[in-house]
Structure 1
Amino acid sequence: MNGLRIGLTGGIGSGKSTVCQMLAELGAWVVDTDAISRELTAAGGAAIPAIAEQFGPAYIDADGALDRARMRDLVFRDPAARRRLEQLLHPLIGAETVRRAALAQPGQPVVFDVPLLVESGRWRTLVDRILVVDCRPETQVERVTRRSGLQPEEVERIIAQQATRAQRLAAADAVLCNDGVTLEQLREDVATLWRAWYPARP
């Protein structure tokens, strides 16, 4: 892998996944770390035995997958439990991220879709550019409650656990505003940035 490496991040409900899909359509090779995490914690996933051992069988649902609601409640209440879960998952996610990135074509830009890029503190040295998808916290809450069924206060708790908007913006090499814009306007902004960062393609 010797192409441009882009770290893509944004708060929950920012539209990061939409931007990621647009970048893929433009020719980027996408490595979705959140998808990797979900696969590791699905029924039969590589992380399930260790989660059951560390946290007990109550955190595994009837299908054999991580009980996400129960675990989310635990890590919000107990920072030590959050760290234990991260110590368990992060090495597995990291190894699979490297493996998938290596599947890119020679010279093909790789986009690492990392929800907690700023929080991890290590991605600055692993990517060439950091792209942040940004919107107002009120927009985040409205979008997530509409799509997930979570209550606004639950969404606000999730937002509070993530890096602040200011921290993400400070880490960014470029920012895409996804607040009060149409999907087509966002697509045009993504394409403009793509041409600036990767002029080898139209």
Structure 2
Amino acid sequence: MVWVLGLTGGIGSGKTAASDYFAKLGICVVDADVVAREVVEPGEPAWLAIRDRFGADAFLADQSLNRAWLRQKVFAEPGERIWLEQQTHPRIRERIIEQLSKATSAYAVLVSPLLFESGQSALTQHTLLIDVPEPVQIERASQRDQNNEEQIRRIIAAQMSRADKQAKANDVADNSGTLAHLHQQLDQLHQRYLTLAAS
């Protein structure tokens, strides 16, 4: 099995900028968010379970998930969020393991916003947190997703605290500066990860 780096960070922290950079370096990247979308595609078992529980409201005209509706529903009712996670998390985990096992690069990166919360960190040998202060998170996420500030604050509140993530992560990269500064840190970390993976 390939050596796996778990990459995480809160909303708007720059996980994608970091994982794109690792991909450019030839490293296999498995993105838990992408896998999470795959397991709820029309006809998939999790999609069928969601349809049975929530009915037509949970879907758009093309039968894909109405994510905005579902997000509001599960953040307003914690019991529904737990139910949804029970439908999706085991299926996501299974597919992540399958994709990581096919990696042919020197090491692989598992990108997950909920790396620690979901227990996906157990699939990794080492973890890296892409870290920015909360005001930066809110500013970047609202520019990117057209989400309102209140919704972004709710998402941040539902995730593990920044301090807890910092304490759990093996490495922390500061992404409050320029992209070049982030890449510089990632270059150094990449050299270390090559060594760790080889040993």
Q: TM-score, normalised by structure 1?
A: 0.92
CA distances 1:165-192 after superposition (whole Å, capped 9, x unpaired): 011101110000000x211111111010
Match of 2:110 in 1: 112
Mean Cα deviation higher: 72-81 or 35-44: 35-44
CA distance in 2, matches of 1:73, 1:8: 26
**Offset of 1:146 from its aligned partner?**
0.7
**Which of 152, 155, 160 pairs up with 1:158?**
155
CA distance in 2, matches of 1:66, 1:125: 29
Match of 1:185 in 2: 181
Match of 2:77 in 1: 78
Question: In the alignment, is residue 21 of structure 1 matched against residue 20 of structure 2?
Answer: yes
CA distance in 1, matches of 2:79, 2:28: 35
| Stretches of structure 2 lacking an aligned partner (at least 5 in a row) | none
Q: Tell me the secondary structure at the aligned position of residue 53 of structure 2.
A: helix
CA distances 1:21-67 after superposition (whole Å, capped 9, x unpaired): 11111222111110011122244545211110122221122110111
**Which of 165, 170, 173 pairs up with 1:173?**
170
**Which of 127, 144, 147 pairs up with 2:144?**
147
Question: In the alignment, is residue 94 of structure 1 matched against residue 90 of structure 2?
Answer: no
RMSD: 1.6
Match of 1:54 in 2: 53
CA distance in 2, matches of 1:193, 1:102: 23
Question: In the alignment, is residue 126 of structure 1 matched against residue 150 of structure 2?
Answer: no
Note if contact 1:44-1:64 (Cα within 8 Å) is conserved in structure 2. no
CA distance in 2, matches of 1:191, 1:17: 16
Q: TM-score, normalised by structure 2?
A: 0.93
**Offset of 1:84 from its aligned partner?**
0.4
Match of 2:39 in 1: 40
CA distance in 1, matches of 2:53, 2:162: 33
| Stretches of structure 1 lacking an aligned partner (at least 5 in a row) | none
Identity %: 37
Matched residue type, 1:160: A
Note if contact 1:26-1:191 (Cα within 8 Å) is conserved in structure 2. no
Note if contact 1:28-1:109 (Cα within 8 Å) is conserved in structure 2. yes
Q: Tell me the secondary structure at the aligned position of residue 93 of structure 1.
A: helix
Q: Tell me the secondary structure at the aligned position of residue 189 of structure 1.
A: helix
Matched residue type, 2:190: W
Q: How many residues align?
A: 197
CA distance in 2, matches of 1:127, 1:142: 30
